Each structure stands twice: as C-alpha cells, then as structure tokens.
C-alpha cells in the first residue's frame, strides 16, 4: 500500500489537506507525500535559453513550497512524511502522475477559497481529479484542522442499496477494519416537494415511506453481511436520516471530530469516472466532515 | 384483525373488506402540519387547480351540442362539481389518510368499491392528461403558425381515428401531444415538482389570458348569436354539461386540504363554494364572450377544433397579435396542467401498487432519483399512446364519465359511512345532510345518462377490464391478505405542506 498523496500549495493558506492526510496516515499506518506543482517551462529547447529564468524561479518556488510543507508535516511527528515538487502544466495531471508513480492509495486535496469556512468546495482542479482519478479523492473542508494525534474514529458511508454502493460497502468495511474505525451506514431519504396544485394529498409522504422501507430492507441485508465480516454492534451503526432537503437530512445526523464521510462517485457504470452523480454532489456540498469520493 | 390466512378468504367477505386506518407510530420528522391555510388561500388553491383543465378547449365540443344554452350547461356542471366536492370533503376529513378518492373508498367502502373507483380515477387522470396534451398540441401549432409561419402538418398533429362526425382526419399521430407527455415524464423522472409559487404564476397567466379573451370577445358582442337560445333542447344542454364537467376537475383538490385549514367546518364549504363561484363565473363569461363573438355554428368547424379561443380573437380583431398572446399563455399554462395531472396519475398508481392490487413494482421508488420511476414510465407510455392516437372528441367525455361515477360513489359512501360509523370523528360534516349527498348523486346521474353511448361503452369495457384484472391478480396479491402486523400497512397522514 502506497503513501497518501497531498496536493499542497503554500499560497492557498490552507493546511486542511495536510492535516487530513496526516489523520488518515496515522489511522492507516502509511506515509504522507506532499506535492507542490509549479509552472513548467517550454518542453522544446528555446534558443538562447530564454526561459531559463522561469525555470529557475519555478524551481525556487517548488523547493520553498516543499520546505514549507515539510516544516508543517514535522508538527505531526508520528507520521512519516516527505515532500516534493514537480513542474507541470496541469496541477491535477501532475498529481495523477505522481500518484501513479508512488502507487498512492489516496489523493488528498483542500477546498479552495470559494466556500465558507467548514464547508467543502470542489475546485476546478478537484473536479478534474474526480473525473480522472483511479484512486479515491479526499477533500478537506475549508479551514479543516486536526490536532496531532487525531485519528479517523468513524467512517460514515452514504449507502443507497444498489449494486454500486454494495460493492463500495465491501471496500469501506475493509478499510474500517484495517484502521480500527467504526462504521456508520446511512441512507439519505429526502422528501420531494409537493406538487401544486395538489390533486393527491400526502403523495410525497407516501413515496418517502416506500423509500424508507426500501432503505431499511437494504440496510438489514448490509447488517447481516457486515456481522458476517466480524463487525459487532459496537463498531457498526445504521441510520436513515430524513429531510426535506439534502442539507436537512445530513444535518439531522450527529457529526463528531474524527468523522469521515465516504460517497461513491456514480452508479452510471461506464461513465463512473466522469460524473459525480447528482446525489453525491449534493451530499458533498452539505457535508460538515471531510469527504472521500471513491471512483 | 389478523388476515394472515393460508386459505383464501370467502369472496364476498374479501370484496367487502375495508382497509383499516392505521397510522405510523413514528411520524416522519419535519414540522407537523400547520393549520395555516386561510379560507381565501384555499379558495385560490381551488381556482388554480380547476381553471385551465378544460376551458381552453371545451367550447368547441360543447357549443355544437347545446347551442347558446351552453351557458346553462356550465351552471349545471358547476353545481354537480360543487356538490360532489362537498361530499368528497366529508369523506376526506373522516378518513385522514393520504391519497385520492381511491384511498378513501378502500377505507370506507371496501375492496370491491375501491377497485371500481380505482378504474374511474385512473380513467379520470390518465385520460385527462391525454386530453389536455391533445388540446395543448392545437395551441402549440397555432403559436408556431402565428409566430414562425409554419405548422406541423396535419398528418403529424392529428390522430388517424375519425372524430364524432366520422370524417377521415388525414392524420396519423398527434406528435406534439406525445412529445409533451414524454417531456413531462422526463421532468417527473428527475423528481421535478411544481411548487406553490410556480402554480400561482400559472394561475395568473391562465386568468389573464381568459380575461383578455372575455374583454375582446365581448367587444364584438352580437345579440343575434343568442337567438334560439334553447334550440338544442334540454337534452343538448345536459349532454354538453357532461362534456363540460371535465373542466371542473381540480375542484376536488380543495376537499383533500381539510387538514390544513383552521376551522374546516366553516372554511371548507366556503372555500369550495367560493372557488366554484369564481371558476363558474370565469367559464360562463368565456362562454358568453365566445358566443357573442361567433355564431354557434362556428364552434363545430375544424377551425374551432384546435386552438378555438385563439381563432376567435384573430377573427374579431383582424390581427393575429391577441390570438398569439392567448395561444402563448395557453401553451405555457397547459404544459403545467399536463405535468400536474400526470403526476397525480403516477401517485394514484403508487397508492394502488402499495396496496398490492397492481404489481408492487408500481410502488417502488428509484433510490437514485427518489421518484417512482417504473410507475412514471409505464403511465406516461400508456398516456402518450392515448394522446397520440385518440381524437379529443372521445377523451373529454371519457374523463367526465370516470369522474362523475367516482363522485357518485363518494356521495353514496358518505351516506353509507354515516350509517355504519355514526361515531367517527368528522372534522367536516356536509351541510344539509342527507339532502346534499342525494342531490349530488341525482345531479351526477342526470349528467351521466346523457353521455353518448360510445362513452358508456368505453367506460364499461374499461371497468370490466379493471375488475377482471382484480379477480386475476389483485384478489390474490392484495397487501391486506398478508398482513400480520398492522404497522405494515400503516401510513403517514396526508398532512404534508411545503
């Protein structure tokens, strides 16, 4: 199992991704590799070496960023961290290349500066990663902070009960056991708004009831399966949060420090790497905890 | 009751079996139903749900039947609809479950009646969706013609089945209507809903274009058109009332909102009667304006068949501007009517599927979209076929017959329930009992007997199919057959509001 790869930019003023990576690394007993990507010179040799100055500047930036990352990683002294920089024309592509060469198991990124503190934002770079990555992507909320020594205590899995999320359940159960985290399986039940003019009363409650019944049955199956894998009721929880909106349903769960939310990217099989899925993106936007998107 | 039997229940007993009223102990979280609606809001709600279902198309069907006396037909249909809505309100308040006429019938009058009502309601909503889509197609074509200067050719915008007059149509399929139904299906599959706010906008659009029509139509007032007022006789007037009844569908939406008003006993009848008066006034004024502007013979022509109201405006003003405005308003608002009616159809199928009378697949919710996908696709496909291939002449009468029969049964059900369950809590009790329900049945029956034979034949065959399906499938598969724990069939109260 390879190290965790973190995309780090000293200009972003956000150390959440580094903190989150260390938290994961501590739980999974692996190392962290922080990578900063700097602009690349022209690949063809230019007469007179005119872009040498750019390359020198980029190298200076890169090593400064790597040093800054190393300095911060040192505060998590129980995690084995190393840093590096790479020149590339596309930050996501450089991260993906490095993830492949390191055989990384996870890419960790931050939320950018477009969202409010504590919220998860999908930057254009993250978006590209989500489309192309073969390994899971972890996104730290903006301003995320994990004290040295923090681990992942509980993994919350967004479980829909279809084939895609069932296979995801299997993989997440494996990770939960490896990292000694407890597992919480949740199925979000969001009630549609009533259609007006309303010709059938209570119609959406009726649909919601069916949805909840379906979720209960799926979760009962999942529970049997997980017990079989060695989970006990102490390390396993189930929930069907109900809400009028995704945000409401997510807020109705209790969230603690040390929680991580896992979502699948989409069940649209061949396109699974391209689309995040409308439910997943709504869940991510409202999640108060770090999110791992599994392709 | 423990109906968990291995031996089948005696037939007579099963046909009379009523679904017990059980509520979920754990109510879904979320605010409890606010009894927040005022009488006025409820009234507007009824107006919004009713206006627009049929008024844009119904004159071209009913004026040839009744002549200028179609105005009286509107009053008769309105009276029957209002009385029915009052009866419906009592049944809905006595049985506070979610659903439509079908659900109330299952709880109040037993499985057999519920099956028949299910047939009626499916006819009401399914065929109404198709009929509205066909009407939309006419206005859409009119709008294309007056704005872009081309029309979808008749072969692709009319059905191949000849109408009442038996003249070949030269058509093949009503493509715009089919496309409209599928567009609405896609919206529903995506879980789209039309909010109260959009509904309010639609109501304003509908009322505005109707007022436009009334004003312009009356400006061309020609008293000669009202000569020979009762020329078609009482038979013609009643027959037209049957066709028109369709345009009052939606008034019953008020009846199911009893839980949401502060003082249902006072507010419900006021809201229903208020909405009825407003709607009837608008309709009668539209009819007067139409007849004032055009001789009764005009309404029977092909020209009046599609986009009739637009045509009248064009002829009266000599310019296409106002006709285009009306057509645009109709195209927008009828789209929403189609969406809402199709939605109603899917949710009724959902309720029937949940009770096991049709395959459970109809009560499945797609966990991805949180909408009943299978149900929506099947219902839309069937409705699209009807909209594409059946001419509107047959559709409207068919909707009316389904609704009228359902409402008669509701009125009878009110009387039955008063006798069998006199102690049941009824937040709303119908005024003037037992005269009102009896009057309702008589009014419905009077209109019913004048509906054409072909409508009765279609209705009879459909109900026979439904009942046969029940004996072949529903009787064995009904959810009530397998109930061991009442919580299994418990349901949420019909008390949502957004």
| String of DSSP letters for A93-113 | HHHHHHHHHHT-SEEEE---S
Chain B hits for A279, Cβ within 8 Å: 368
Which of B98, B258, B337, B497 should one mutate to test binding to chain A, selecting the residue with the greatest count of A CBs within 10 A?
Answer: B98
pLDDT, position A239: 93
User: Would the CB atoms of A197 and B199 count as touching at under 8 Å?
Assistant: yes
Give the 3-state secondary structure of residue A180: coil
To test the contact with chain B by mutation, choose from A195, A252, A278 the residue with the greatest count of B C-beta atoms within 10 A, namely A195
Task: Bin A72: left if φ > 0, else alpha if -120 < ψ < 50, else beta.
Answer: alpha
A269 touches chain B (CB under 8 A): no
Closest residue in A to B196 (Cα–Cα): A196
**Chain A residues close to B191, C-beta within 8 Å:** 192
B304 CA: distance to closest CA in chain A (Å): 29
* DSSP 3-state of B41: helix
Scan residues 112-151 of A and list those with Cβ closer than 8 Å to B.
none
Contact of A190 with chain B, judged by CB distance below 8 Å, is answered with yes
DSSP-derived secondary structure letter, B319 = S
Residue with tokens 């139904």: B181
Q: Give me A118's structure tokens.
A: 């504590």
pLDDT at B481: 84
Positions of E strands within B323-396: none
Q: Residue A1: what pLDDT?
A: 55
Q: Which residues pair with A32 in a beta bridge?
A: A4, A81
Q: Of A192, A202, A214, which is closest to B191 when you measure between CB atoms?
A: A192
DSSP reduced 3-state for B330: helix
Lowest-pLDDT range of A3-7, A249-253, B116-120, B257-261: B257-261
Angle at B393 between CA B392 and CA B397, to 5 degrees: 100
Could you tell me the two tokens for A183?
A: 């597992």
Partners of B427 on chain A (C-beta within 8 Å) are none
Above 80 in pLDDT, residue A74? yes
Q: Return the closest-CA partner of residue B116 out of B406, B432, B381, B438.
A: B406
Close Cβ partners of B247 (under 8 Å, ≥ 6 residues apart): B50, B53, B54, B55, B58, B77, B283
> B26 in helix, strand or coil?
coil
pLDDT score recorded for residue A120: 92
Q: Exposed, middle or buried, B453 (CB in 10 Å: 0-12/13-18/19+)?
A: exposed
Chain B contacts of A208, Cβ < 8 Å?
28, 492
As a whole number of angstroms, the distance between CA B97 and CA B22 comes to 9
pLDDT the model gives residue B259: 65
pLDDT reported for residue B137: 92
CA-to-CA distance for A59 and B48, rounded, in angstroms?
Answer: 68
**Residues facing B172 on adjacent strands:** B159
Contact B242, B448 (CB under 8 A): yes
How far is it, in rounded angstroms, from Cα B246 to Cα B54? 6
pLDDT at A19 exceeding the cut of 50: yes
SS3 B20: coil
What pairs with residue A262 in β-bridges? A157, A292
pLDDT per residue of chain B (498 residues) written in tens, 0 to 9: 444 445 677 888 888 888 877 665 444 444 344 556 788 878 887 888 888 778 888 888 889 888 899 999 999 999 999 999 889 888 888 877 767 888 888 888 889 999 999 999 998 889 999 999 998 998 999 899 888 888 888 888 888 777 766 666 777 889 999 999 999 999 888 877 666 677 788 888 999 999 999 999 999 888 888 888 888 888 889 989 988 888 888 887 777 776 667 777 788 888 888 989 999 999 999 999 999 998 888 888 877 777 788 889 988 888 889 989 999 999 998 888 898 889 889 988 998 998 899 998 998 888 877 888 999 999 999 999 999 999 887 888 899 899 999 889 989 989 988 988 888 888 888 888 889 999 999 999 999 998 889 899 999 999 999 999 999 998 888 888 877 666 666 665 544 444
For residue B145 the two structure tokens come to 């013609």
Counting residues of chain A whose pLDDT is more than 70, the rounded percentage is 92
Structure tokens at B32: 């409890």
Contact predicate A132/A92, CB 8 Å:
yes
Give the whole-angstrom CA distance, residue A24 versus residue A189: 29
Place of tokens 């009787």: B475
Which residues from B are below 8 Å from A187, CB to CB? Answer: 367
Beta strands in A15-132 (DSSP E): 32-38, 81-87, 106-109
Q: Looking at the partner chain, which of A200, A215, A243 has a beta carbon nearest the beta carbon of B100?
A: A200
Q: What local confidence, expressed as pLDDT, does residue B469 receive? A: 95
Q: Is A205 on the interface with B (CB under 8 A)?
A: yes
- Taking only Cα atoms into account, the Rg of chain B, rounded to an integer number of angstroms, comes to 22
Nearest CA in chain B to A205: B492
Asked if B136 and B177 touch (Cβ cutoff 8 Å), the reply is yes
What per-residue confidence (pLDDT) applies to B496?
43
Do residues B76 and B238 touch, judged by C-beta distance below 8 A?
Answer: yes
- Residue A191: pLDDT band (50, 70, 90) is confident
The residue that leads in pLDDT, B11 or A278, is: B11
Q: Is A209 on the interface with B (CB under 8 A)?
A: yes
> Structure tokens of B449?
């007997």
Judge: B370–A190 Cβ closer than 8 Å, yes or no. Answer: yes
d(CA B1, CA B14): 13
Beta strand segments in chain A, E: 4-7, 32-38, 81-87, 106-109, 137-139, 154-158, 182-186, 189-190, 236-239, 242-243, 259-264, 291-294
Inter-chain touch A195–B198, beta carbons under 8 Å: no
Bridge partners (DSSP) of residue B195 are: none
B256–A201: do the CB atoms touch at under 8 Å?
yes
| Helices and strands per DSSP (H, E), number in chain A | 8, 12
Rounded average pLDDT over A254-262: 92
- What the block records as the tokens of B134 is 């066909």
Q: Would the pLDDT of A96 be above 60?
A: yes
- Please report the pLDDT score of residue A211 as a whole number: 87
Please indicate whether, in this complex, the C-beta atoms of A196 and B194 are within 8 angstroms of each other: yes
Which pLDDT band holds residue A153 (cuts at 50, 70, 90)? very high
Looking at residue B497, its pLDDT comes to 42
In terms of CA atoms, which chain A residue is nearest residue B366?
A: A211
Q: What is the residue whose two structure tokens read 């009668």?
A: B284
């Amino acid at each position: 199992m390879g190290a965790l790869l973190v995309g780090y930019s000293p200009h972003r003023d956000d150390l959440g991704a580094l903190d989150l990576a260390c938290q994961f690394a501590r739980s999974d007993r692996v190392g962290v590799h922080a990578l900063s990507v700097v602009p690349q010179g022209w690949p063809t040799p230019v007469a007179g070496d005119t872009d040498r100055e750019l390359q020198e500047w980029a190298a200076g930036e890169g090593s400064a960023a790597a040093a800054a990352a190393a300095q911060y990683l040192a505060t998590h002294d129980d995690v084995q961290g190393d840093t590096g920089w790479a020149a590339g024309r596309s930050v996501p592509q450089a991260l993906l290349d490095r993830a492949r060469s390191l055989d990384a198991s996870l890419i960790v990124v931050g939320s950018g500066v477009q969202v409010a503190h504590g919220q998860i934002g999908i930057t254009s770079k993250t978006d590209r990663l989500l489309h192309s990555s073969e390994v899971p992507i972890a996104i730290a909320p903006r301003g995320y902070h994990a004290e040295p020594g923090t681990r992942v205590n509980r993994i919350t899995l967004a479980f829909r009960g279809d084939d895609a999320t069932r296979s995801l359940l299997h993989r997440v159960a494996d990770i939960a056991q490896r990292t000694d985290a407890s597992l919480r399986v949740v199925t979000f039940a969001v009630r549609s708004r009533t259609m007006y003019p309303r010709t059938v009363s209570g119609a959406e409650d009726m649909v919601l009831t069916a949805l909840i019944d379906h979720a209960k049955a799926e979760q009962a199956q999942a529970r049997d399966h997980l017990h079989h894998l060695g989970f006990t009721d102490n390390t396993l929880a189930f929930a069907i949060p109900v809400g009028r909106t995704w945000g409401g349903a997510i807020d109705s769960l209790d969230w603690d420090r040390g929680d991580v939310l896992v979502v699948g990217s989409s069940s649209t099989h061949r396109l699974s790497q391209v689309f995040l899925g409308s439910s997943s993106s709504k869940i991510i936007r409202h999640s108060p905890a770090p999110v791992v998107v599994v392709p | 009751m423990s109906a968990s039997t291995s031996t089948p229940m005696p037939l007579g007993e099963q046909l009379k079996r009523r679904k017990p009223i059980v509520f979920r102990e754990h109510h879904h979280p979320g605010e409890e139903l606010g009894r927040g609606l005022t009488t006025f809001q409820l009234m507007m709600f009824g107006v919004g749900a009713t206006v627009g279902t049929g008024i844009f198309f119904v004159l071209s069907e009913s004026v040839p039947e009744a002549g200028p006396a179609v105005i009286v037909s509107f009053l008769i249909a309105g009276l029957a609809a209002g009385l029915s809505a009052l009866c419906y309100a009592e049944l809905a308040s006595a049985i506070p479950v979610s659903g439509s006429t079908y659900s109330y019938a299952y709880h109040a009058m037993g499985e057999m009646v519920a099956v028949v009502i299910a047939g009626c309601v499916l006819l009401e909503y399914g065929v109404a969706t198709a009929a509205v889509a066909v009407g939309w197609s006419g206005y859409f074509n009119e709008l294309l013609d007056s704005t872009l200067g081309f029309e979808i050719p008749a072969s692709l915008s009319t059905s191949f089945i000849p109408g009442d007059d038996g003249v070949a149509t030269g058509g093949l399929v009503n493509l715009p209507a089919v496309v409209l139904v599928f567009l609405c299906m896609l919206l529903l599959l995506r879980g789209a809903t039309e909010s109260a706010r959009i509904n309010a906008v639609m109501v304003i659009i509908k009322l505005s274009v109707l007022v436009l029509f009334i004003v312009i139509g009356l400006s061309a007032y020609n008293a000669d058109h009202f000569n020979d007022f009762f020329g078609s006789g009482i038979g013609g007037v009643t027959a037209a009332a049957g066709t028109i009844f369709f345009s009052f569908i939606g008034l019953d939406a008020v009846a199911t909102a009893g839980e949401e008003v502060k003082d249902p006993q006072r507010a419900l009848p006021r809201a229903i009667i208020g909405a009825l008066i407003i709607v009837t006034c608008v309709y009668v004024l539209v009819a007067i304006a139409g007849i004032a502007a055009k001789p009764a013979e005009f309404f029977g022509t092909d020209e009046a068949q599609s986009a009739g109201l637009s045509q009248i405006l064009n002829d009266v003003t000599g310019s296409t501007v106002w006709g285009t405005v009306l057509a645009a308003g109709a195209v927008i608002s009828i789209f929403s009517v189609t969406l809402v009616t199709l939605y109603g159809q899917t949710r009724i199928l959902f309720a029937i599927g949940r009770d096991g009378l049709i395959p459970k697949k109809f009560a499945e919710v797609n966990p991805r979209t949180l909408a009943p996908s299978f149900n929506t696709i099947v219902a839309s496909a069937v409705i699209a076929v009807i909209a594409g291939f059946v001419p509107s002449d047959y559709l409207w009468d068919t909707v009316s017959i389904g609704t009228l029969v359902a409402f008669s049964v509701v009125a009878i059900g009110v009387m039955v329930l008063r006798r069998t369950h006199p102690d049941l809590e009824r937040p709303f009790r119908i005024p003037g009992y037992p005269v009102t329900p009896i009057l309702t049945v008589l009014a419905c029956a009077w209109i019913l007997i004048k509906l054409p034979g072909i409508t009765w034949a279609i209705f009879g065959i459909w109900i026979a199919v439904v009942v046969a399906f029940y004996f072949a499938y529903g009787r064995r598969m009904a959810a009530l057959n397998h109930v061991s724990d009442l919580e299994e069939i418990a349901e949420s109260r019909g008390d949502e509001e957004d």
